[in-house]
């Protein structure tokens, strides 16, 4: 793969950096095993290493998948038993799954707690509580009383409901109509896991989970939309997952999902202009500035690109330096290279 040199790939091995997922596969000649870049197994000697673009090519060369990093599976893929539980809770947010219920299902409570803490930064029971609060919030906004909404959503006491509500929304349930809710999901892609947020109007955020500015983006969205981010179902999130899957399969080159992208006037103009760059093509920051009618706005365009919260769909990865260099990408330059090469190969 032309994106990274042999030495650059070799330097990544052993660092356990998951952001290089999907960029290359490491084959070890002495063992006949191939690994993902973030494998935590002992780093092989340089003379014993061979790199492949994909796991499929490694298999064709007679290598077998590593049992430690499991390169034939998606990185950080949600386990099936957790997918089933999440779907069950989304279908019935009033349901309360306690530790005893997990044990009866053959699931260790500590195991599921660790997974939610690692991937959602909250406990499993906090996730359930936020789903119930989300349901109650909707109910109150639709005219239901606070007390009925509390008990209907599975809370055992009004005081417990009020306390949980105030912790999340920063105010009492009687002020429900003063906050908006953005639903959030986590899902996996060939380049690693991503977070997505959506309002009733459209998709608000689509970012790789290791993006450094992610927490800042969450706070900015909350402030601009007077919102709180909670797990829950959303038709726009369902549509996004379908379209992103089709994109990575090479069958989708244009997106149709509605977007809800609040920003400054200049940022919004820049993001709309980004979406005019055709699939598989690139533009320089200077060309983007000229397209906006301001030849001297190159730096401002670069700054607005960096504030884009919706990766891939608003294709800031298609903007490069005037000299053809790949500069600046929140998901990492290696992902930017991969996306550009992937699009060119699918033209």
Is residue 146's pLDDT more than 70?
A: no
**Rounded mean pLDDT of 75-95?**
80
- pLDDT top residue among 155 and 39: 39
C-alpha angle with apex 82: 77 to 84, nearest 5 degrees? Answer: 110
Q: Is the pLDDT of residue 17 over 90?
A: no
Q: Among residues 35, 69, 204, 316, which one is catalytic?
A: 316
Query: Looking at the predicted structure, is the pLDDT value of residue 304 above 60?
Result: yes
- The residue among 310 and 118 whose pLDDT is bigger is 310
DSSP 22: T
Task: Kindly indicate the confidence band of residue 142, based on its pLDDT and cuts at 50, 70 and 90.
Answer: low
Could you read off the pLDDT of 274-298 as tens digits, one per residue? 999 999 999 999 999 999 887 788 8
- pLDDT in the model for residue 153: 55
What domains appear along the chain, each with residue ranges and CATH number? 6-65 (3.40.10.10), 80-178 (1.10.10.60), 185-345 (1.10.10.10)
pTM: predicted TM-score of the whole model, two decimal places: 0.67
Examine the residue annotation and report whether 316 is marked as an active-site residue of this protein: yes
In 10 A of CB 159, how many CB atoms?
10
Please determine, for residue 194, whether its predicted confidence score (pLDDT) is greater than 50.
yes
Please spell the DSSP secondary structure of 91-154, one letter per residue.
H-TT----HHHHHHTT--HHHHHHHHHHHHSS-HHHHHHHHHHHHHHHHHHTT--HHHHHHHTT
Average confidence (pLDDT) over 171-193: 75
Give pLDDT tens digits for 210-230. 888 888 898 899 889 988 888
What's the pLDDT at 122?
78
Q: What's the mean pLDDT in 119-123?
A: 79
Mean pLDDT across the chain, nearest whole number? 84
How many CB atoms sit inside 10 A of residue 178's CB? 10
At residue 55, the pLDDT reads: 82
Whether 194 contacts 311, CB under 8 Å:
yes
The confidence band for 116, taking pLDDT boundaries of 50, 70 and 90, is: confident
User: What are the pLDDT digits (tens) for 43-76?
Assistant: 999 999 999 988 878 887 888 888 888 887 776 6
């Amino acid at each position: 793969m032309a994106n990274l040199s042999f030495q650059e790939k070799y330097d990544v091995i052993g660092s356990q950096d998951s952001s290089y997922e999907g960029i290359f596969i490491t084959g070890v000649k002495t063992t006949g095993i191939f690994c993902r870049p973030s494998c935590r197994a002992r780093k092989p000697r340089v003379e014993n290493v061979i790199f492949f673009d994909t796991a499929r090519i490694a298999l064709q060369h007679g290598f077998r998948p590593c049992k430690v990093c499991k390169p034939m599976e998606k990185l950080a893929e949600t386990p099936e038993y957790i997918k089933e539980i999440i779907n069950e809770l989304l279908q019935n947010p009033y349901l309360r799954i306690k530790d005893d219920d997990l044990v009866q299902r053959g699931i260790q409570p500590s195991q599921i707690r660790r997974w939610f803490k690692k991937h959602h930064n909250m406990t499993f029971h906090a996730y359930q509580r936020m789903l119930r609060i989300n349901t109650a919030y909707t109910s109150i906004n639709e005219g239901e009383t606070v007390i009925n909404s509390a008990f209907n959503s599975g809370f055992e006491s009004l005081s417990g409901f009020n306390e949980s509500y105030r912790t999340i929304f920063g105010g009492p349930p009687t002020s429900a109509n003063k906050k908006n809710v953005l639903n959030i999901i986590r899902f996996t892609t060939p380049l690693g896991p991503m977070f997505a947020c959506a309002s009733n109007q459209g998709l608000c955020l689509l970012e790789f989970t290791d993006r450094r500015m992610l927490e800042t983006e969450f706070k900015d969205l909350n402030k601009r939309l007077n919102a709180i981010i909670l797990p829950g179902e959303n038709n726009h999130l369902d549509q996004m997952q379908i379209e992103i899957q089709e994109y990575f399969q090479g069958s989708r080159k244009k997106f149709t999902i509605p977007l809800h992208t609040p920003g400054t006037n200049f940022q919004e103009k820049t993001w709309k202009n980004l979406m005019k760059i055709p699939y598989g093509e690139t533009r320089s920051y200077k060309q983007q500035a000229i397209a906006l009618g301001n030849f001297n706005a190159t730096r401002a365009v670069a700054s607005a690109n960096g504030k884009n919260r919706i990766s891939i769909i608003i294709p800031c990865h298609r903007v490069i330096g005037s000299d053809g260099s790949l500069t600046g990408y929140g998901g990492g330059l290696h992902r930017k290279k991969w996306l550009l090469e992937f699009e060119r190969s699918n033209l």
